[in-house]
Amino acid sequence: MNFGQVITAMVTPFDEQGEVSYAVAESLADYLISNGSDGIVVCGTTGESPTLTWEEEYQLFQVIKNAVGSRAKVIAGTGSNCTKEAVYATQKAADLGVDGSLQVVPYYNRPPQDGLYEHFRTIATAVPQLPIMLYNIPTRTGQNLLPETAAKLAQIDNIVAIKEASGNLEQAAQIRRLSGNSLDIYAGDDALTLPMLSVGGVGIVSVASHLVGKQIKQMIGSFLTGNIEQAEAINTKYLPLFKALFCTTNPIAVKAALNLRGWNVGGVRLPLVALSQPMQADLEKVLQELL
């Protein structure tokens, strides 16, 4: 396993002017790896990558890698719906010393499966020294990376993992069946971590681990060591939190939760907007009950 069991898809903190707060990002990364995270995705969906400039992203990669050092894996979100752009960004991230790259299925242009294969193959072969995690999230990209394509990509040496966020457990099971142990499968939804483990998953790219990273780590460990009852109990306890953090478009709710817990991560950039007052009240109630 290249990246560990609990990988936090980290938010990007902003200051009052909406600029990236690199100091808070550094502190948050340090906190996360002290509280259950084996790795951190920087500038993924939760990190608001669509509204960050490449210059901001490159600086975040460097700041977070310097803060984390060798204590955890830093996985750079360098995907794009432009293959050439993704290659350049991934090469740049590799030069900055990150430990891996998250590559999302190209969005909007909706390439066929052959196009998806060629897109990811081109990126992987351009940066052969860097481990790559594929990222399948059809609700955001408009295209589903099929198990057959994922298994074919797994034959490329540095394509080592997939964040399978289709919400389809049968699809995850098919990826495991077709790829064997050549592709580490990560859940992309905290509420599906436990069932994903049951069909061959190895862990979670998590949002909730900002708040309950140690507990998620314990849940995974319990399941993998055969203590299914304890794993189920942890999942049941924190399921309301998992759901509350996705009451609206991510990362609106998790940023609100972090601010409520004393982390000054700021707001979100347009076109995202702040959490509504009713949702904020519901989130506060869940946090008070569970944390």
Give the pair of three-digit tokens for residue 179.
């790829």
Can 108 be counted among the known catalytic residues?
no
State the DSSP H helix or E strand holding residue 161, giving kind and residue range, or none if neither: strand 159-164
Q: How far is 68 from 163, CA to CA, in rounded Å?
A: 22
Catalytic residue among 73, 163, 217, 255: 163
Q: How far is 95 from 245, CA to CA, in rounded Å?
A: 34
Cis upstream peptide for 251 (omega within 30°): yes
Backbone dihedral angles phi then psi of residue 34, each to the nearest 5 degrees: -90, -5
Catalytic residue among 22, 135, 186, 238: 135
Contact status, residue 117 vs residue 145, Cβ threshold 8 Å:
no
Can 135 be counted among the known catalytic residues?
yes
262: left (phi over 0), alpha (psi -120 to 50) or beta: left
Cβ neighbour number for residue 288 with a 10 Å cutoff: 9
State the catalytic residues. 135, 163
